[in-house]
Amino acid sequence: MPAFPAAADASTRNTQLRANLRHATHTIRAKRATAVAELDDWSSLRAAGAAIKDRTLRHLDQYLEQLERAVTAAGGHVHWAADADEANRIVTELVRATGEREVVKVKSMATQEIGLNGALATAGITAYETDLAELIVQLGDDLPSHILVPAIHRNRGEIRDIFAERMAEWGRPAPEGLTDAPADLAEAARLHLREKFLNAKVGISGANFMVAETGTLVVVESEGNGRMCLTLPETLISVVGIEKIVPSFQDLEVFLQLLPRSSTAERMNPYTSTWTGTTDADGPRTFHLVLLDNGRTDTLADTVGRQALRCIRCSACLNVCPVYERAGGHAYGSAYPGPIGAILTPQLRGVQSELDASLPYASSLCGACYEVCPVAIDIPEILVHLRERVVEGGPVSVRGTRTVIKPAKGHAAERAAMRAARWALDHPRVLRTGQRLASRTRRFHPRRLPGPGRAWSDTRELPKVPEESFRDWWRRTRGESGTEGRKTTT
Ligand code: SF4
């Protein structure tokens, strides 16, 4: 996968993709603003959501052990996976033990993150996606491009073509003469998936939340497909990131208000499924919970970056991001696109690869993502923090061990410019002389930078140097001491 600028360069030239994204993100963001404005206490809810998550993260080890005890007591089995390979191995062995060769899946970002479908396919096991958008992505040999609407980059005509051409290869074919009317597309998917649900013996899910005190897992969704996946199979395997935990059932009341309004602009989501271990004569007979670390403990060790673990995957930050709207989700090269992907992926995977080192720069730092985030993650702050890590290197935690990473390649000019700026700012006389010189020569300044700087100025306007620097203006209007002419207030 190329670095973000190269991938975005290709996607921004796709006018159909940009039109699809613009239409979808603008529609969702407008609806979200209305849904949020209905609540007078939204800012209090937001602060409560952030506080609950922060407290939970501070005591994460204790809550996870409490969860393990509660799940086990309720008849479930808990497995700990340090990384993607371990999680894939655990799930593959669990499926093999059932003797099945097919599984149904309810949308799960964690399984996207670890590449579970590919690992199962290598072991001869076929995973069928049952979320409508995930089904579109799977049938189209595509990748998800949005957290909530993985097929956001497709319009109705494209979906009709995918259903008509590919459904038969995966099971029940699309009806003859399928149109691109939403009701027809939904009916085709319903018939196709119903067959899968009724035959499946193993289901794989993620979870939006896990409740430590009761061992309960929670999935919120809009279609009801998830509920079928969670209740019909004999064996249920849930793969969940360790940060998805909340201490008590009561904490859910905050998140079950924040999440639907931020994601689908609904007052409450249509289906909220909860399950606690196993129950005789109802639901799966066997339940396995795979707790996934995969870089989360290392992220927690970073006092600035750990905010990203508060994320409840609502996707509000994607829908307001001007960069995501033009580049699309595939350019981020990970299961987590948009602003949250730009801060989460480089922390989970590190910044050693060219792609991961480029992600903290996939932002204009406009701050719109922070404004809408229901758990108040200061995404711009983390982006700047990660840019510093890319350029300067420094101490990080890798699999629980503190280590020092080197600066990423290709940032020598940036580093030199920052050091020169620091030196100039430490020497006021030099700075003043430079500013005056720049003001007096402003007529001769180029509109584009020469040499390697050209790529930067090709897409930006260089700022105009003012006739007079702020320091000179201050001295001229306030005098040498800076107090002349200043009004005093009492
Ligand atoms: S970072 Fe905030 S706005 Fe973005 S998906 Fe996560 S919770 Fe939602």
Ligand 1 within 6 A of CB of 139: no
Express each pLDDT in 51-60 by its tens digit: 999 999 999 9
Please give the DSSP secondary-structure letter assigned to residue 351.
S
Ligand 1, atom 8: nearest CA belongs to which residue?
314
Instruction: Read off the pLDDT of each residue in 235-263 and give the average, rounded to a whole number.
Output: 97
Closest CA to 51 of 274, 341, 377: 377
Distance of CA 91 from the midpoint of ligand 1 (Å): 28
Residue 490: its pLDDT value, please?
Answer: 40
CA distance 478 to 359: 45
More confident residue, 38 or 413: 38
Residue 73 has pLDDT above 50, yes or no: yes
- Choose which residue among 255, 262, 382 to substitute to test ligand 1 binding: the one with the highest number of ligand atoms within 8 A of its C-beta: 262
CA atoms within a 13 Å half-sphere pointing along the CA-CB vector of 429 = 0
Residue 484 has pLDDT above 60, yes or no: no
Residue 37 has pLDDT above 80, yes or no: yes
- Choose which residue among 344, 363, 373, 381 to substitute to test ligand 1 binding: the one with the highest number of ligand atoms within 8 A of its C-beta: 373
Ligand 1 within 6 A of CB of 263: no
Distance of CA 192 from the midpoint of ligand 1 (Å): 32
pLDDT band at 482 (very low <50, low <70, confident <90, very high): low
Express each pLDDT in 382-391 by its tens digit: 999 999 999 9
Q: Does an H or E element contain 199, and which?
A: helix 182-199
User: What is the reported pTM?
Assistant: 0.89
Residue 141: its pLDDT value, please?
Answer: 93
Long-range contacts of 187-191 (CB under 8 A, 24+ apart): 188/163, 189/132, 189/135, 189/163
Query: What is the number of the ligand 1 atom nearest to the C-alpha of 369?
Result: 3
CA distance 189 to 151: 14
Ligand 1 within 6 A of CB of 241: no
Least confident of 25-34, 162-171, 358-367, 458-467: 458-467
Residue 483 has pLDDT above 90, yes or no: no
Least confident of 24-28, 261-265, 272-276, 461-465: 461-465
Taking all residues of the chain, what is their mean pLDDT, rounded to a whole number? Answer: 93
CA distance 391 to 380: 17
Distance of CA 195 from the midpoint of ligand 1 (Å): 34
Distance of CA 259 from the midpoint of ligand 1 (Å): 9
pLDDT band at 193 (very low <50, low <70, confident <90, very high): very high
Ligand 1 within 6 A of CB of 329: no
Residue 81: its pLDDT value, please?
Answer: 98
- Choose which residue among 340, 345, 371, 383 to substitute to test ligand 1 binding: the one with the highest number of ligand atoms within 8 A of its C-beta: 340
Residues 6+ away with beta carbon under 8 Å from 276: 70, 71, 74, 214, 215, 216, 217
- Phi, psi dihedral angles at 52 (to 5 degrees): -65, -45
Ligand 1 within 6 A of CB of 373: yes
Query: What is the number of the ligand 1 atom nearest to the C-alpha of 379?
Result: 1
Distance of CA 103 from the midpoint of ligand 1 (Å): 29
Distance of CA 50 from the midpoint of ligand 1 (Å): 11
Residue 216 has pLDDT above 50, yes or no: yes
Ligand 1 within 6 A of CB of 308: no
Distance of CA 374 from the midpoint of ligand 1 (Å): 7
Express each pLDDT in 403-446 by its tens digit: 999 988 878 877 888 889 999 999 999 999 999 999 999 988 88
Instruction: Read off the pLDDT of each residue in 203-210 and give the average, rounded to a whole number.
Output: 97
Residue 272 has pLDDT above 70, yes or no: yes
Ligand 1 within 6 A of CB of 316: yes
Ligand 1, atom 4: nearest CA belongs to which residue?
317
pLDDT band at 489 (very low <50, low <70, confident <90, very high): very low
Express each pLDDT in 289-307 by its tens digit: 999 999 999 999 999 999 9
pLDDT band at 455 (very low <50, low <70, confident <90, very high): confident
Residue 107 has pLDDT above 80, yes or no: no
Ligand 1, atom 6: nearest CA belongs to which residue?
311
Residue 417: its pLDDT value, please?
Answer: 85
Q: What is the dihedral of CA 127, 82, 207, 285, to 10 degrees?
A: 70
Residue 486 has pLDDT above 60, yes or no: no
Distance of CA 109 from the midpoint of ligand 1 (Å): 14
Residue 264: its pLDDT value, please?
Answer: 92
Structure tokens of 310? 């508060």
Residue 350: its pLDDT value, please?
Answer: 95
More confident residue, 305 or 453: 305
Express each pLDDT in 77-100 by its tens digit: 999 999 999 999 999 999 999 999
